Structure 1
Amino acid sequence: MGLLARHWSRIAITLLPLVFALLHAVGVLPIPFVERLDANLYDARLRASMPGTLDPRVVIIDIDEKSLAEAGRWPWSRNRLAEMVDELFERQKIALLGFDVVFAEPDDSSGLKRLRQMAEDELRDAAGFRQRLQQLQADLDYDAVFARALEKRPVVLGYYFTGEGRKSGVLPAPVMTRESLRGRPIRFTRFSGYGANIEALARAAPMAGHFTPLTDGDGVVRSIPLVAEHDGAYYEALSLAMFRLLVGKPAVEPGFPTEHLAGHDYPGLASLVLRQGRRALPIPVDDRVATLVPFRGPGGPAGGSFRYVSASDVLLHRLPPDDLKDKIVLVGTTAPGLLDLRVTPVGETYPGVETHANVIAGLLDGRLHVMPDYAVGYEVVMLLVAGLLLALLLPLLSASVAVLASFGVVAALVGLNYWLFAAHGLVLPLASGLLMAGTAFALNMSYGYFVESRSKRELANLFGTYVPPELVDEMVKDPDSYSMKATSKELTVMFCDMRGFTKMSEKMEPTQLQELLNEVFSRLTDIIRANRGTIDKYMGDCVMAFWGAPVDTPRHAQLAVRSALAMEQSVVQINEDHRARGIPEIGVGIGINTGTMCVGDMGSDIRRSYTVIGDAVNLGSRLEGLSKVYGVAIVVSDAARRQAPEFAWQELDRVRVKGKEQAVGIFTPVGVLATLDAGTAEELEAWGTFLAAYRAQEWERSELELRNLRRIHAKKYLYELYSERVASMKLLPFDPSWDGATTFETK
């Protein structure tokens, strides 16, 4: 208690996030950001737990681009749809058919309406015409033909609700009455208008369900209202109607929540109860009487969750008999022009028909995700337990142990939440707990940090992850001389990219690839740090570093080149090990440039980094890319070369890179000048003679010099590159304006 009394201020600060989180949880102070984060966390849990397997029970008849090309644009005549229905039930012997399309207008494509008009007007005296029309009208009334195909078959039609008040077509009978709600104000999703099927079809197939999804505030479809309200009556969704028809058309009753769990003012139902005789099947729903779509995997024909059959294949009888026997069939579309693609947690162009297929599969399996009626109570309890635990422990623990304790609390919250989700289908709030725990830890550590602030520790914390420890030791001797404030100064920057990474990623497991990358980057990083370099960042398979900051280093270019040569040699040793282990070999491409750069702490309020920016940095990145072009491991600008006189150099070219008008000389180091052998020195001299002839457009002399060089190094790519250039350019007339530079238009 004495310890707690001494740390009461830190405890109070740590409790602040708990207070705000509780106010959000009970609805007193809703925080939109937390709600959006909860939605994103739900999406992540969903994607992590999707089975990703094919459900053979449900098949989607797809009005796809192929069908539109073969059968004509939509809508198709109803007699053709009747043929498709007959094919599905008689030849394929399906169990159940649902339409994720609406037939809101009569079909006049047969011309029957015009023929009747002619019989009443210009051909009224033609008795034979009227008689023949009476004989044909049964076949020409395509709506009647389609209706006869639907009659006495397990078919569920689809329709949609709208909030715009327009009404067309005939709604099916509602599945629940207001009286069954016992006067409770349930927060159904309410609609003022609808677009339903024409009367002839609605009479032929009295079972129908709406296919209107719920779109969240971020534009993502995550749920479907299983029952929606219109004019005081309650109508079921297409997926629920198909499921009910499949299991014998049980009645739908409201399942009321338990008040001591949900609270007496909970605005929703706990479930929808399907009751048939003594049997009752509860289907859990959220406070909007909706269910979250239990997505099985990515959508569409290539998604692998459901079998897609092109509608034209059914129309043209391409399927073998009984190929779809006993299947639950949904007719829908993936054609972009028919506007039934949705943004969902598992895809931005997800077929709307597949959302209903997922719900049907979930109903069959008893596997529906739902936010239960007691979600608020769960959230409050989790916040109190985790918040009070952190508030009491963090002030008493060292920084390292506090990190472990906070991580343990967060891991417990995430683990319990995911277990309830994966094992029991419960979608419970998580974002408020994570943000509360993270903010409580941050405030607690920040308070202790600022109260006990020490300039040397501050400096070490700021720069310790960027620069070698020996440089930090120098800096802390005079901390006031260093800061992360941006400044301009001459520095040397290096970009080092790993070659062969894509090839390795195709052949290695992710964990093996991670281990290999860590090993390679550790070796390269050790070399950079041993040469007083500052690690800027890692970017995939690339590392960026610079020399000359935060500690002034007069020989920064020389140290960078020395690092590059050591890194090239280290890769040779790595490849020897790879060959012994049967692992693909790697290479590196390194670009180095010296120039004026802006260096300092930069970024956003969320994430910042001690880094360098400027044209000189961009040029260094371009030079790294040119290493592939010239077949060398290291490309160094002329500015950096001039500041590294201890090395011997081979000039590669003069180039204009993208974004730069002025040509830049580029070089590659061939070793330490003091130890250069006579053969290499002679080769460099010959190369210089070639470049002089090349830039003077003396092509015959250039070819002669190149032949001599290729005798020395027959397989050197640089000489092959220039041989091709000379062969091409000798075909062109002399250009007095040409300065010998090569222009690159890409990065």
Structure 2
Amino acid sequence: MPTPLRNRLAPLAIGLLLLALVLGATRSDWPPLRDAVQTAEHFIYDQRLVWSQRTGIEQHDDAEIVIIDIDERSLGAVGRWPWPRATMADLLEQLWAAGTIVVAFDIVFAEPERNPAERVARGVDDPALRERLGELAPRFDGDRHLAEQLARGDAVLGFFLHRDETATHTGTLPEPARGAEELGTGTPVIHRFQAYTGNRPALQEAATGAGAFSVIPDADGVVRRAPLLLGHGDAVYPGLALETARVYQLLDDFRVETVALGAHTAVDAIELGAARLPTDARGQALIPYRGPRGSFPYISAVDLLRGETDPDALEGAIALIGTSAMGLYDLRPTPTDAAFPGVEIHANLLAGILADDLPRKPAWVDGANLVTTLTAGLVAAGLLPFLGPLATLAVTAGLLALLVGGNLWAWAQWDLALGAAGPLAAVLLIGAGNLTWGFLFEHRRRHQLRQRFGEYVPPELVERMAEAPTAYTQTGETREITVLFADIRGFTTLSERLDAVALRELLNRFFTPMTRVIFEHGGTIDKYVGDLIMAFWGAPMDDPEHRRHAVAAALAMQREAERLREELAREGLPAIEIGIGLNSGPAAVGDMGSAYRRAYTALGDAVNLASRVEGQTKAYGVGLLVTEHTRAGLETVYGFREIDRIQVKGRSQPVTLYEPVEATQSPAET
């Protein structure tokens, strides 16, 4: 298999593997994976909700809902909770007088209130006085006063359902919900509770309705949904918001749409008048939070009791009585606030019910998430391996933007709460995987390139080559190059005069400056053979001016040789003379050799001719000779003295030899 294709198939396989892992994670029932996916989905849901609030996409044209807040100031003025029932009756009387249409309580009146007249009568010995106190007792009956006020208008009491099996039953539950009879039989999947805290019977009978204010937070403790239907025993009860909406709309009941879910009965939706309220299988609705804490108008309970409230603020409104006081423990974490009053949670849900704009998460959403994850993952896995790093980054960002934009559009257009963790994770992981593979692959290729060319090519050129490693190859190719051969004249005689150690040191002193000069002029070292250096210009990096650079290097090598001669003479060592030959032409360059040892080299007639030209320097008594092929185009850069025309073995045409004698202008040497 060709290497480029193999290099593409590896990240493709990695991408498909990552996609399979994401799909497995989103469908897994293993608690750690399931919790991780849920955490991601919850985070995305919360951010989407906050985004829609900040951008003003959530528009609310609903009934006026006002919160009567038993706040810290009210507790300080009236007294600690629970307040006397007479005080609550006064509060309710003020609401009716202001024209409030419906009053709902996010509190429960479970315990009987002691009658002060009866308490005093039990301690009196005088029968006549005891009888008189008994006659006065109804006037001090707080439950009776509150019941009378409840009966004056449409009041909805709240009650609490417990999951704790050890909790006791307190108070009285209202009549079960009409229209939910189907959920009272079989094995419904709505939340079932083991105990309750209800209201006093007299109060329950006086109220128009009652709804449970129990909420069930998600696994992370955040309240994102609330049950519209709750079960206790075989009975089904409405949530506080649903019951308040029913009473406000003067409806006798609501209807529950159910579907079979295996052996269970699941809720599909709730019909309330003309509205069809979407729920999950357990009868829970997503809460359409309109903003942070305080998004609904608040009226302090003490201001209402003192008559210091503008009546217009309550006329025609729905009033929810609850508390924001920290000491009464009804503050919950929500997507918009870490400490959100429970009464405002019900206000948000009630507003969504009345406006018929509850967020929807139909049963088919899970299937849609699976298809979206699969599609996005396949696109990323199939496309990214064939792109470069910048294109991979751009396409990954584009896919993420498309997924996020589509998700937000579905939310803004249809209140659809689509999942996003799976598709986003698939694209992110596959994109990161491709970028990581590309980085490692490019790093490996650059490392290999430095290893292969580092001995032949100047370090700065190796770094330039490493910036685009795919542009350079060691496979055989034909290039137009200039070849240089240089050796020490009389090396055989010299080697006989020196021992091995001295000869090695002499060669090192010769090769080091010569190699430096070649590298400084952008040349590639081919090999050292004895006292001979072979180098060339024009490969592996393209060099349009390889002739000029090679001649400049040869002249600099002559200057270095002169400097070295002077050094050796001062040290009493034999002087050295060098001969350099240059030729230009096409040659085969590449990685050549055997399975045991290979080298990057140049082969061809142009190389052979350069070697022969170097051999002629001694015969003509010059240090540097170039052919007409190297001289071509450099006439205005260097001065050339024609030496001779020679016939070279294997060539039909004679070759003209020249000696570069001087620079007619300052040539660039790199």
| TM-score > 0.5 by shorter chain | yes
For residue 613 of structure 1, what is the aligned residue in structure 2? none
Residue number among 312, 315, 336 corresponding to 1:346 in the alignment: 336
Matches for 1:539-618 after TM superposition, within 5 Å: none
Distance in 1 between residues matched to 2:160 and 2:173, nearest whole Å: 10
Match of 1:10 in 2: 11
Which one-letter code corresponds to 1:106 in the other structure? Answer: P
The aligned residue for residue 298 of structure 2 is: 308
| Matched residue SS, 2:439 | helix
SS in 2 for 1:377: helix
Alpha-carbon distance in 2 for matches of 1:194, 1:105: 13
The SS at the match of 1:97 is strand
1:10–1:444 CA contact under 8 A, matched in 2: yes
Alignment of 1:22-101 (within 5 A): 22-27=23-28, 30-50=33-53, 51=56, 57-89=64-96, 91-101=97-107
How far apart in 2 are the matches of 1:88 and 1:40?
Answer: 40
1:114 corresponds, among 119, 140, 149, to: 119
How far did 1:236 drift?
A: 0.9
Does the CA contact (< 8 Å) of 2:183 and 2:236 recur in 1?
no
- Deviations, residues 244-264 of structure 1 (Å, cap 9, x unaligned): 00112242322235x8xxx86
Residue 182 of structure 2 aligns to a residue whose secondary structure is: helix
2: distance between equivalents of 1:101 and 1:409?
49
Superposition pairs of residues 647-658 of structure 1, within 5 angstroms: none
- Is contact 1:16–1:440 with CA below 8 Å preserved after alignment? no
Please name the residue that 1:139 is paired with: 139
State the distance in 2 between where 1:250 and 1:383 align: 45
Give the deviation of 1:27 after TM superposition.
4.1
Equivalences, count: 449
- Equivalent residue number for residue 372 of structure 2: 382
> Structure 1 285/459 Cα, relative in aligned 2: closer, same or farther at 3 Å?
farther
Q: Aligned match of 1:222 in 221, 224, 231?
A: 224
After superposition, the C-alpha distances for 1:501-539 in whole angstroms (9 at most, x for unaligned) are xxxxxxxxxxxxxxxxxxxxxxxxxxxxxxxxxxxxxxx
Matched residue type, 1:115: V
CA spacing shift, 1:14–1:179, aligned 2, 3 Å: same
Give the deviation of 1:63 after TM superposition: 0.5
The answer to whether the Cα contact below 8 Å between 1:61 and 1:309 also exists between their aligned partners in 2 is yes
Deviation at 1:270, TM superposition (A): 2.2
Q: Match for 1:291 among 275, 285, 288?
A: 285
Distance in 2 separating the partners of 1:179 and 1:101: 27
Equivalences for 1:490-569 in 2 at 5 Å? none
Would the alpha carbon gap of residues 457 and 401 (structure 1) be closer, same or farther in structure 2, given more than 3 Å must change? farther
**1:661-718 superposed Cα distances (whole Å, 9 cap, x missing partner):** xxxxxxxxxxxxxxxxxxxxxxxxxxxxxxxxxxxxxxxxxxxxxxxxxxxxxxxxxx
Question: Shift of residue 366 of structure 1?
Answer: 1.2
Partners of 1:431 and 1:66 lie apart in 2 by: 44
Q: Which residue of 2 aligns with 1:241?
A: 243
Find the partner of 1:196 among 191, 195, 198.
198
Deviation at 1:266, TM superposition (A): 8.8
How far apart, CA to CA, are the structure 2 residues paired with 1:182 and 1:364? Answer: 26
Structure 1 residues 341 and 179, CA gap change in structure 2 (3 angstroms):
closer
TM-score (norm 1): 0.56
Distance in 2, matches of 1:400 and 1:180, equals 59
Which structure 2 residues correspond to residues 337-736 of structure 1 after superposition, within 5 A? Answer: 337-454=327-444
Conserved in 1, the CA contact under 8 Å of 2:255 and 2:271?
Answer: yes
Give me the whole-angstrom Cα distance separating, in 2, the residues matched to 1:265 and 1:362.
32
Match of residue 271 from structure 1 = 269
**Alpha-carbon distance, 1:181 to partner:** 4.1
- Map 1:153-172 → 2, pairs under 5 A: 153-165=153-165, 166=167, 167-172=169-174
Give the letter for the 1:36 counterpart: T
Deviation at 1:295? Answer: 1.0
Amino acid across the alignment from 2:98: Q
Distance in 1 (alpha carbons) for counterparts of 2:8 and 2:72: 69
The answer to whether the 8 Å contact 2:191/2:231 transfers is yes
Q: Distance in 1 between matches of 2:342 and 2:323?
A: 8
Q: In the alignment, which residue of structure 1 is the partner of 2:151?
A: 151
Q: Give the distance between the partners of 2:384 and 2:465, measured in 1 at CA.
A: 32
Aligned to 1:21: 22
Deviation of the 1:333 alpha carbon: 0.7
Work out the CA distance in 2 between the residues paired with 1:325 and 1:432: 48
1:200-237 CA distances to partner (integer Å, 9 max, x unpaired)? 11111151111111111112111111111111221111
With over 3 angstroms needed to count, the CA separation of the structure-2 counterparts of 1:476 and 1:6, relative to structure 1, is: closer
- The structural deviation recorded for 1:452 is 4.2
Report how far residue 155 of structure 1 moved: 0.3
The answer to whether the 8 A contact 1:177-1:234 is kept is no
Matched letter for residue 17 of structure 2: L
Query: In 2, Cα distance between the equivalents of 1:206 and 1:56?
Result: 19
| 1:288 positional shift | 2.6
Structure 2, unpaired ranges of 5+: 451-458, 467-670
1:187 partner letter: V
Whichever residue aligns with residue 90 of structure 2, its letter is: E
Task: Measure, in 2, the Cα distance between the counterparts of 1:181 and 1:4.
Answer: 60
Q: Is the 8 A contact 2:179 2:255 kept in 1?
A: no
| Deviations, residues 559-595 of structure 1 (Å, cap 9, x unaligned) | xxxxxxxxxxxxxxxxxxxxxxxxxxxxxxxxxxxxx
Q: Secondary structure at the match of 2:174?
A: coil
Q: 1:105 to 1:396 in 2, by over 3 A?
A: same
Q: Percent identity?
A: 35
The aligned amino acid for 1:111 is P
Q: Paired residue for 1:254, among 234, 253, 256?
A: 256
Secondary structure of 1:241 counterpart:
helix
Higher Cα radius of gyration: 2
Matched position secondary structure for 2:254: strand
C-alpha distance in 1, partners of 2:382/2:310? 70
> Matched residues in 2 for 1:268 and 1:100: separation?
27
CA distance in 2, matches of 1:291, 1:381: 25
Letter in 2 for 1:229: G
Per-residue CA deviation, residues 293-325 of structure 1 (Å, 9 max, x unaligned), is: 1111110xxx3x111111011111122444411
Structure 1 residues 72, 169: CA separation in 2 closer, same or farther (over 3 Å shift)?
A: same
Q: CA deviation at 1:20?
A: 2.2
Given the superposition, is the C-alpha separation of residues 183 and 309 from structure 1 closer, same or farther in structure 2, using an over 3 Å criterion? closer
Q: Tell me which of 108, 131, 143 is aligned to 1:102.
A: 108
Given residue 285 of structure 1, which amino acid in structure 2 is its aligned partner? T
The two structures have a TM-score, normalised by structure 2, of: 0.62
1:176, 1:410 → 2: CA distance?
Answer: 47
CA distance change for structure 1 residues 459 and 173 in 2, over 3 Å: closer, same or farther?
farther
SS at match of 1:383: helix
- Write the distance in 2 (CA, Å) between the matches of 1:457 and 1:310: 73
> Whole-Å Cα distance in 2 between the matches of residues 4 and 82 of structure 1?
82
Deviation at 1:291, TM superposition (A): 1.2
Change (3 A) 1:118 1:232: same
**Other structure's SS at 2:113 match:** coil
AA paired with 1:79? A
Task: Determine if contact 2:143/2:202 at 8 Å carries over to the other structure.
Answer: yes
SS in 2 for 1:84: helix
Root mean square deviation, CA, Å: 3.1
Q: Are the structure 2 counterparts of residues 232 and 405 from structure 1 closer, same or farther at C-alpha, using a change threshold of 3 Å?
A: same
The letter of the residue matching 1:25 is T
1-side partners of 2:78 and 2:462: how far apart?
Answer: 77
Deviation at 1:330, TM superposition (A): 0.5
Matched, 1:329 2:327: no
Partner of 2:214: 212
- Cα distance in 2, alignment partners of residues 314 and 365 from structure 1: 28
